[in-house]
Copies of this chain bind each other. A is one copy, B any other.
Amino acid sequence: MQMKHSSNIVIVGLGLLGGSYARGLRKAGFDFVYAIDVDQDSIDYAKEQGYICDGKTCDFEEWLKQADYVVFALYPAMLQNWVKRWGYLLRDGCICTDVSGVKNGLVQSVQRLLKPGVEFIASHPMAGKEVSGVQNSHLVDFTPANFLITPTENNTERGVKFAKELAQVLGFAHVRVIDCEEHDRMIGYVSQLTHAIAVSLMCAPAAERFAEYTGDSFRDLTRIARMNETMWAELFLWNRENLICEIDDFSARMEYLKQCLIDNDRSELERLFRQSTRARKAFDQKEREG
């Protein structure tokens, strides 16, 4: 382990994920976890709960100068702005990471903003909740989740090793390395398209009209329709080209299914259902095998 229990770790942004990182790190025996946030209440809460040893809303320059590791738990645009404003304070040898749900463009831009001796190795914990704030961070469960590391040509082995250790310390089941472009294509399908579907399903006039009749399937498909609008609008727009493609592809498949209905084509419908059943079974199988 290059991370030491005596390392100075600064978490910037004490929301749902920043809070759960702090909590996880302290639980794993890291004693020097500091937090920077604009909200004093969040800091007070995290201190009370023992997630951090201290927190500040200003005058945190010394912490940054002495930080061994920094976790940016901020939305993408704020991450860029923050690094632009304060990044110069980080010392040579400091390693930083983030939690952003989009990578391409963002990662390279943050890397450019930092001094050559400071390494930014981007990562994305695929864990969350339909709630926000440090007060809910105990609800986040890393155990079954994926931790994605998205290095660029500017990253070193040391940087990737830190990200892997962090994932291990926090208890993620799966750690994977993927490049930024592929990450964003994947997230456009796996996460953003599914949220776009949930929103479109939940915003239907029929949703209210038929609320009392809904069953498991409707409940499952709309659970994620409870969204932090600021964060998701930013993620969607950052990745809009990939998401637009995914919506187009998905809509074409829905159109195809509709055409089978129009044509009364029972055998083609059955073929589609067999295909989806087979695909979902294979997916279940893979999940079981971990």
* Interfacial residues, chain A to chain B (CB-CB below 8 A): 126-127, 130, 145-146, 148, 174, 176, 178, 186-187, 189-191, 193-204, 206-230, 232-234, 236-237, 240, 243-244, 246-251, 253-255, 257-258, 261-262, 264, 266, 269-277, 279-283, 286-287
Contacts and interface: CB of A to CB of B under 8 A. Distances in A.
A233 B266 contact: yes
B249 A254 contact: no
- Which secondary structure dominates where chain A touches chain B? helix
A194 B190 contact: no
B206 A257 contact: no
A272 B146 contact: no
Contact of A190 (B213, B247, B248): B213
B261 A254 contact: no
Contacts of A201: 193-194, 197, 250
20 contacts: A126-B213, A178-B213, A186-B209, A189-B206, A190-B213, A190-B218, A193-B201, A194-B221, A200-B253, A204-B249, A208-B279, A214-B283, A221-B221, A226-B281, A227-B277, A229-B271, A232-B273, A247-B261, A248-B258, A251-B255
A205 B79 CA distance: 33
A193 B221 CA distance: 11
Given A237-B261, A261-B240, A276-B199, A213 B270 contact: no
A40 to B, nearest CB: 26
A270 B84 CA distance: 26
Given A221-B221, A247-B261, A250-B254, 7 more contacts: A146-B212, A146-B213, A186-B206, A202-B276, A203-B272, A229-B271, A251-B251
